[in-house]
Structure 1
């Protein structure tokens, strides 16, 4: 099994820190979806039935990111999965924001675009972290 040396104070710091911040941000978003979901369909234009599944999925992703970042030596394949998942989600969110497939409000479009920017930024940071740690 290939690993990425990502121990504190080493070349893998960017990867570990990126995974942790991504995990905490994902958890916060998941909690927001679960707690504020009843009040968000009107302002965002998302169907009310989406908030609980999105919140649960985000909390699951946050747990996975936390577990990966907590490994003493981060397995490269897990880090690559985090990069791929972030990149795929970011690419998928952009058409949702602009294609009119959902009745999003202007605020809803902004939230979806912000979500895409978040995951694409972390895909890039984590990818760079993997490259630095394996260099």
Structure 2
């Protein structure tokens, strides 16, 4: 007589958790200079100082929250929220770069488009991780 056993389940949330943690660390670390050197960044980019401070605080909070979400037993809801946030940031950064609401310098346009590219790529990686669940 042969016993039939179900194959061991394999965790498939590794990519999503990794991408969320990587995103949290990179964005959180990016928030530090936005807060610490907002005036200098504003002069370099043309983005108003208040917006630089606001982005810096948002980046710091985002980093903490997303890192905590990546550690939850059920990572799916946090992953969906993180992917949505990255999609919104991609659209927002792109719109800000081309809308003409601020007197952006070349560095400012590059910063916003670089941020849009980053959020699009990391969001896509997180989406792939979500689909693997």
Give the alignment's TM-score, normalised by structure 1: 0.86
8 A contact 2:13–2:75 mirrored in 1: no
Structure 2 match to 1:125: 125
Q: How many residue pairs are counted as aligned between the two chains?
A: 124
Equivalent-residue separation in structure 1 for 2:98 and 2:80 (angstroms): 28
**Matched ranges for 1:1-135 at <5 A:** 10-71=11-72, 73-133=73-133
Instruction: Name which one, 1 or 2, has greater alpha-carbon Rg.
Output: 2
Where has structure 1 moved over 2 Å in runs of 4 or more?
none
Contact kept? 2:94, 2:113, Cα under 8 Å = yes
**Equivalent-residue separation in structure 1 for 2:89 and 2:31 (angstroms):** 15
Deviates more, 1:46-55 or 1:25-34: 46-55
Q: What are structure 2's unaligned runs of at least 5 residues? A: 1-9
1:5: which partner in 2? none
Measured in 1, the distance between the counterparts of 2:124 and 2:74 equals 17
Q: TM-score, normalised by structure 2?
A: 0.87
